Amino acid sequence: MNPKPGLLLLLLAPAALGWGPALAQTNGPLSAIDWLRQSAVSPEPGAYPVTPPSLAGGGNGISVRALDALRPEAVGLYPAARVGLPATLWGPTSAGTLAELIEALPADMLPSLRDRTLHLLLAEFNAPLPEPGLDGVARPDFLLARVDKLVEFGALDHAAAVLDALGSSDPLLRLRRFDIGLLLGDEHQACIGVLIDQPPVGDDAATVFCLARDGRWQEASDLLDQAALSGSISAYESDLLTHFVHGDERLPGASSLLPPPTGTPSPLVWRLLEAAGDPVSTLGLPVAFAHADLRGTIGWRAQLEAAERLVRVGALSPNRLLGLYTERRAAASGGIWERVRAVQALDEAIHSGDPAAAGAALLDAWPLIQAGELEVAMANLYALPLRQLALTGEAGDLAFRIGLLSEDYETVALALPANAPGEARFLAAVARGLDPALAGSMPGELAPAVALAFGPTPPEPEGLRDRLAQGRLGEEILRVLAQLGGPGDPRMLAEGLTTLRILGLEDTARRTALESLLLERHG
């Protein structure tokens, strides 16, 4: 039996009645990134209502809400209702369990799954019961897990906004804000939390750096000497900080520095290397480092490469990338320059209003857009103007598929003629939440899985309704996001899409199904 739209209200009732949280212990704060400090349209019959549209959008529309100082884990940038979820989302699931589930989420997700994950990380839900530490003091594992996952996604502005709204005195959270500030190139904001005396952040390297930036050179020098003697900072950090604090007084230049350790540098080491005249390219580093290459002092190619990386993971608005693409004419050839030229030609052809020119430019540009895994971003930019041009033939078929990758996928599906090919009818049925097997057919191993999830007998996971009856909605959403975010598997796709629909996440289910069928990758 298909999940009914009203079922979610019944399943959430126990949570609304105040089921008590169950405690669970964790082994300490979590970190999935090696440089982070360790701590811890009205539907037809049979169609489903779609949940609110994506709010990811590259960091647009951030607002800060007042917080209850006694419930810091509830910090968020917008209310839960804005993303179509209840404030009681976390129910009886403990903060430690939620932190583990968040940490386990893969960073490489389909865009629809990534957007839903951002909703969970950024919205303001009732706080779960915090996990007590060995000294009886609550640990910030849940908050750290949220912030660390945002950083892993490259969503630094969002992570900074969460921490700034919280204004916590916790040393670990202040050090996270320090790292984020360095990655964003805002050393002044980064150092504000470090220089607070009580409680101290407990990181001598960060403190030396911030004291020096604050003009307190003698204090920085004294602390550096003490830290070097005590071993609280590594020999490599000591070398870099000595060069930063004393310049040529003790070290003649960056060439005299010790060889760097292997692995990803910390944001502080990365910034100190830049200050020493020995910058490290961000291309081989996690996507969070790419923000630095958006600075106006960086070359155009580096800006383009950074913007593509950030748009690909949903951390930058596609409009920002389009602005860079069309900023000037490419003077070189090959690689990214071919994509720049193709997008420029497509943009010009669309604005000319000539369907023939736009169709030809679209067919030329789309393979290059696919190679950059930028299909969804470009779809949200160009789906509407392409639809208005009423392209025909091969270009028209491609424009239809592009429209299904945009946020207006359902409108695109509703406009499909009844005599369209079976594959297009199959996709349109998925976009409308209908049984696609009754509409058409589509090749590939994932199509039967999608048809099963949207058909009359979807594969419902065992025990799901019992867990929902306990109020564990948030826990189940995190689990299905991890399941669908992994490598493509037809059985898991069918079960995951079914779960999303039962949970009431119809928009995410439809978009995930369409992206699974239309994108040349999964996860």
* Cβ–Cβ under 8 Å, residues 402 and 382: yes
- Tokens describing residue 124: 């303001």
Query: For the residues 46-71, what does the mean pLDDT come to?
Result: 44
Distances from the Cα of 308 to the Cαs of 112, 195, 226, 501, in angstroms?
A: 18, 35, 44, 32
DSSP three-state, residue 401 = helix
Query: For the residues 159-182, what does the mean pLDDT come to?
Result: 94
Residue-wise pLDDT tens digits, 197-220:
889 999 999 999 999 999 999 999
Residue-wise pLDDT tens digits, 426-461:
999 999 999 999 999 999 999 999 999 999 999 999
pLDDT of 410: 97
* Cβ–Cβ under 8 Å, residues 377 and 321: yes
pLDDT of 279: 85
pLDDT of 8: 38
Distance CA 441, CA 258 (A): 62
Task: Give the number of C-alpha atoms closer than 13 A to the C-alpha of residue 147, restricted to the C-beta side.
Answer: 32
Distance CA 393, CA 399 (A): 10
Residue-wise pLDDT tens digits, 217-247:
999 999 999 999 999 999 999 999 998 998 7
DSSP three-state, residue 50 = coil
Distance CA 169, CA 173 (A): 8
Q: 229, exposed or middle or buried, with CB in 10 Å at 0-12, 13-18, 19+? A: exposed
pLDDT of 259: 63
pLDDT of 43: 38
Closest CA to 312 of 33, 522, 109, 483: 109
Above 80 in pLDDT, residue 501? yes
pLDDT band at 44 (very low <50, low <70, confident <90, very high): very low
Scan for tokens 């950074």, then name that residue.
306
User: Average pLDDT over the chain, rounded to whole?
Assistant: 84
Of the candidate ranges 38-52, 154-168, 262-276, 470-484, the one whose mean pLDDT is the lowest = 38-52
Above 60 in pLDDT, residue 516? yes
Q: Which amino acid is at 366?
A: W
Distance CA 310, CA 107 (A): 12
Above 60 in pLDDT, residue 68? no
pLDDT band at 32 (very low <50, low <70, confident <90, very high): very low
Above 50 in pLDDT, residue 473? yes
pLDDT of 284: 86
pLDDT band at 521 (very low <50, low <70, confident <90, very high): low
pLDDT of 296: 76
Quick one: which H or E segment has residue 426? helix 422-432
Cβ neighbours around 40 below 10 Å, total: 23
Of the candidate ranges 21-25, 80-84, 114-118, 289-293, the one whose mean pLDDT is the lowest = 21-25
pLDDT band at 311 (very low <50, low <70, confident <90, very high): very high
Above 90 in pLDDT, residue 29? no
Above 50 in pLDDT, residue 64? no
pLDDT of 520: 74
pLDDT of 201: 92
Above 70 in pLDDT, residue 355? yes
Report the percent of the chain where pLDDT is more than 70. Answer: 81
DSSP three-state, residue 7 = helix
Q: What is residue 412's DSSP assignment? A: H
Above 80 in pLDDT, residue 403? yes
- Tokens describing residue 376: 């969804």
Residue-wise pLDDT tens digits, 98-145:
999 999 999 889 999 999 999 999 999 999 876 666 555 556 789 999
Paired residues of 124 in beta bridges: 79
pLDDT band at 271 (very low <50, low <70, confident <90, very high): very high
Domain boundaries, the chain: 7-42+45-186
Q: What is residue 79's DSSP assignment? A: E
Q: Which amino acid is at 174?
A: R
What's the CA dihedral at 500, 503, 506, 508 to 10 degrees? -50
Query: For the residues 458-466, what does the mean pLDDT come to?
Result: 93
